[in-house]
Amino acid sequence: GENVEQHPSTLSVQEGDSAVIKCTYSDSASNYFPWYKQELGKRPQLIIDIRSNVGEKKDQRIAVTLNKTAKHFSLHITETQPEDSAVYFCAAINSGGSNYKLTFGKGTLLTVNP
Amino acid sequence: GAGVSQSPSNKVTEKGKDVELRCDPISGHTALYWYRQSLGQGLEFLIYFQGNSAPDKSGLPSDRFSAERTGGSVSTLTIQRTQQEDSAVYLCASSFKPTGEQYFGPGTRLTVT
C-alpha cells in the first residue's frame, strides 16, 4: 500500500519568512495530493491540492510543487503570519484505482513567531 | 449548508464496554471516511464507504472495530470491549466523490478509563 513520509515534524519560523514542508510517497500510481491544515482543537481543512498532471499550483501565499519522477511534493508558504501556525498534513491517493484510501503523512507542527 | 456532524462530541467509557460513534455526512456526499487521531499524532485511516459499501476495511485495528452505513447517509463506528489504547479522537469525513475534497466533522473524543 501507499506510504507517505513527511518532514520536518516541527518547524518554527519568524513572521514574514517562508516555510517549506516536504512529503514523499511510495506508490507511483498515486495522482492526487491534498494538503490539510489543522489548527489546535479544530478539524482538518483542505488548503490546497495538486493532481499529477501539473507540476505546481499556487493560491495566494500558498503553493504546492510535485515531482512525479522523484515521488515527492512540497508545500510552500510565503510571508508567514501567526495565523498560519497549525499542524499541516500532506496526503496521497490513487484516484484511478478502486481503493480510495487517502494516506496521510504524520503532520508538521508549524509555529510562526511574531 | 450543514457540515459534517458527529455525536457524541465526548465519550468517557469504562474499559470493556462497547461504544457507538455516529457520523452525519454532508447531504449528497457519497463517500464517507473514518479516521483516528491520537494525541499529537497524524490521521490514521480506519475505513471508507462508497454509498453503503466498504470496499476497504484494512484500516480497522482489530475485530473489535466495526462500521456500517445505511441509506447512503449516516454511519456508525462501533468499538466493542474497549481498551485504553482506543482512547483517541475519532474523525469522520465525507466527500462528494472519492477523490474530492474531504470535509471533516468535529470529531468524537473517546476516553477509555
> CA angle at residue A87 from A100 to B12, to 5 degrees?
80
Contact B107 A43 (CB under 8 A): yes
- Confidence band, pLDDT 50/70/90 cuts, at residue A97: low
- Confidence band, pLDDT 50/70/90 cuts, at residue B58: confident
pLDDT digits (tens, 9 = 90+) for A25-84: 999 989 899 999 999 989 999 999 999 888 999 999 999 999 999 999 999 999 999 999
What's residue A45's pLDDT?
94
Indicate if the pLDDT at residue A22 is higher than 60.
Answer: yes
Indicate if the pLDDT at residue B42 is higher than 90.
Answer: no
What's residue A99's pLDDT?
64
Say yes or no: A93 contacts chain B, CB-CB below 8 A. Answer: yes
Q: Is B98 helix (H, G, I), strand (E, B) or coil?
A: coil
Q: Is A17 helix (H, G, I), strand (E, B) or coil?
A: coil
Among A46, A100, A106, the residue with its CB nearest the CB of B42 is A106
pLDDT digits (tens, 9 = 90+) for B17-41: 999 999 999 999 999 999 999 877 7
Q: What is the mean pLDDT of residues A5-29?
A: 96
Phi, psi of A77 (to 5 degrees): -120, 120
Q: What is the mean pLDDT of residues B87-96?
A: 94
**Which chain B residue lies closest to A103 (C-alpha atoms)?**
B45
**Which chain B residue lies closest to A101 (C-alpha atoms)?**
B48
What's residue A75's pLDDT?
98
| C-alpha cell at position A48 | 490546497
- Confidence band, pLDDT 50/70/90 cuts, at residue B98: confident
Say yes or no: A61 contacts chain B, CB-CB below 8 A. Answer: no
Helix, strand, coil tally for chain A in percent (to 5): 5, 55, 45
What's residue B100's pLDDT?
80
Closest CA to B5 of B43, B32, B30: B32
Rounded-to-integer distance, Cα B104 and Cα A76, Å: 23
Closest CA to A44 of B32, B99, B106: B106
**Which chain A residue lies closest to B41 (C-alpha atoms)?**
A106
